[in-house]
Chain A
């Protein structure tokens, strides 16, 4: 088993290629406030009104802790698949991937594929084990046979750090996007996002959070499908025509039809790929979704549907990107001339990441532009709600109920703590959103993924797959992974050079995951095998019952329904 794990890691290391900086860049950088976009604002308020009604409906159904954290375990595989896909199809990925295709054609497809291949592996290896072992948070799985106090404290820290970084990136992104799309002021946009997410989570819990995500996923898929359809229609439903007119319009001509300069620094590329793939399997708000379905069967179905929706979405963004080359590029109403390095160059109004937004206008007029803008905002709102709920669960379920109260708290108190935590997270998110307005946040999402891959993932994975894991190994290895990931990011080009304005980076690569995750796995192994305490022997012995439960679902949460 150990060699399999190692060979898997080597394989990953050997295969990954460059993945996007756009994750945060899509919404980074200064933006100008635009005039009020009424179509978008009205449609957005329709969405908000509808989701608040759902929250009201969900609030009446959210009584127990299981309702609050896991929507009562009653989400179906199909619904959960949409919700997981919704978590993945963020505003950054919609705008970013289509912009990448718009800018360099085929390379955009390479990026999307790198994102997608993580999902089958999650299905084959972890989905059902997670479902069979967990209850509300991934710490339930990680601490299953280990000491509750230290492992849960560590997992809660891992969760909160990941959530905080991700939240900052989303809040700042939301503020800027809204400024750009709606013509609303930055601070009021951030405050509005914060208030709405607190409302969804505190009143509607996981049920509301899931439905907000599902509705948004459906809106986004419908909007993107319409755009792709209109692009195909404009080319007479001939891919040949679409590609030929794109080649004719694009300054790179035929080069957009084949791989470009993406694989330039293979090590950095691999490292980013590893961070994204294993980061996904270590993101607390994604892992939480596996506990909202009834059993392992539904958990597997969820990832199957999620993979389908995400794959379909990436094919759409590819068409949308080419559509933007055909219909937006070189069109005077969407471009402006700016001065760069003393030369006048033509660029998209609002930046390259606005390609999909301009295309929405080109194919569907102002009304559809409003719809797509509202979808982009809804996307951010849905993602921050999921993040907040997972942060709040770490505080109430892991820290308060399991560590502070040692498992002797009652559900009512636990939910109350969770709601207070949600409120605090909302306030913190708003304050951080405002504080980071002018900061370069491009590294935040990458850092969140790197930490998820280096701290959360190794502990979670080994707890399910390796009998020898002990509390000492898990906590020491996880903390080392976290510290190394943060340190390497700080010393790397994104923070040391871009943020701290030093001349040369002390660590050459932008993405630390390749190194920090390897170190975390090694440290976890080392501190586990050298642990000869009596407690460690008991933990190893407890692997068998855990393994049997993970494979059969006997004793799993919600299994009684069968």
Chain B
């Protein structure tokens, strides 16, 4: 990659907008994931009894179990959301930026 191309990519407003969006998006998702996990652990640390409550009057299943499974699913879903957007929108924009810079 020539110094010119680098310079042009760097100065391209499209590129600036792209990295801005991408950075916000990935840090937002990271913080959501950490908040979910953090919340889960804090409940276990300080309000254990919430998770020990059965989900209904005639069941032994406690709230902790569906919530735990949801945390696992959230990891998968968040990853999916990121990968989907990055592999379509971000990759398309990246290719446009690179193409323009090479012209």
Binding site for B on A (CB under 8 A): 4, 8, 11-12, 14-17, 106, 109-110, 112-114, 116-117, 119-121, 123-125, 128, 239-240, 243-244, 247, 254, 257-259, 262-263, 266, 296-297, 300-301, 303-304, 307-308, 311, 314-315, 544-545, 548-549, 551-555
Task: Tell me which residues from 44 to 81 in chain B have a Cβ below 8 Å from any Cβ of chain A.
Answer: 44-45, 48-49, 51-52, 59-62, 64-65, 68-69, 71-73, 75-76, 78-80
Chain A residues with CB below 8 A from B19, complex form: 551
Contact B37 A117 (CB under 8 A): yes
The smallest C-beta distance from A141 to any residue of chain B, in angstroms, reads 17
5 extra A-B contacts, CB within 8 A, seeds A11-B31, A121-B33, A257-B60: A14-B38, A106-B68, A109-B65, A109-B68, A262-B44
A254–B54 alpha-carbon span in the complex (Å): 11
Chain A residues with CB below 8 A from B78, complex form: 120
Greatest chain B CB density within 10 A among A16, A239, A544, A545 is at: A545
Contact A554 B1 (CB under 8 A): yes
Q: A123-B83, A300-B82, A315-B72 are in contact. Are A243 and B60 (CB under 8 A)?
A: yes
Q: Is B17 an interface residue (CB 8 A)?
A: no
Binding site for A on B (CB under 8 A): 1, 3, 5-6, 9-10, 18-19, 22, 26-27, 29-31, 33-34, 37-38, 40-42, 44-45, 48-49, 51-52, 59-62, 64-65, 68-69, 71-73, 75-76, 78-80, 82-83, 86-87, 91, 94, 97-98
Chain A residues with CB below 8 A from B97, complex form: 552
Contact B29 A124 (CB under 8 A): yes
Q: A14-B38, A303-B79 are in contact. Are A297 and B45 (CB under 8 A)?
A: no
A228–B98 alpha-carbon span in the complex (Å): 49
Contact A258 B33 (CB under 8 A): no
Contact A297 B91 (CB under 8 A): yes
Contact B76 A307 (CB under 8 A): yes
Partner of A106, one of B31, B64, B72, B82: B64
Contact A311 B73 (CB under 8 A): yes
Chain B residues with CB below 8 A from A304, complex form: 76, 79-80, 83
A247–B22 alpha-carbon span in the complex (Å): 48
Chain B residues with CB below 8 A from A106, complex form: 51, 62, 64-65, 68
Contact B80 A552 (CB under 8 A): no
Partner of A123, one of B38, B82, B98: B82
The smallest C-beta distance from A359 to any residue of chain B, in angstroms, reads 20
A-B contact pairs, 8 of them (CB 8 A): A16-B41, A109-B68, A124-B27, A124-B29, A300-B82, A315-B69, A549-B1, A554-B1
Chain A residues with CB below 8 A from B3, complex form: 545
A352–B96 alpha-carbon span in the complex (Å): 57
Chain B residues with CB below 8 A from A297, complex form: 86-87, 91
Contact B52 A120 (CB under 8 A): no
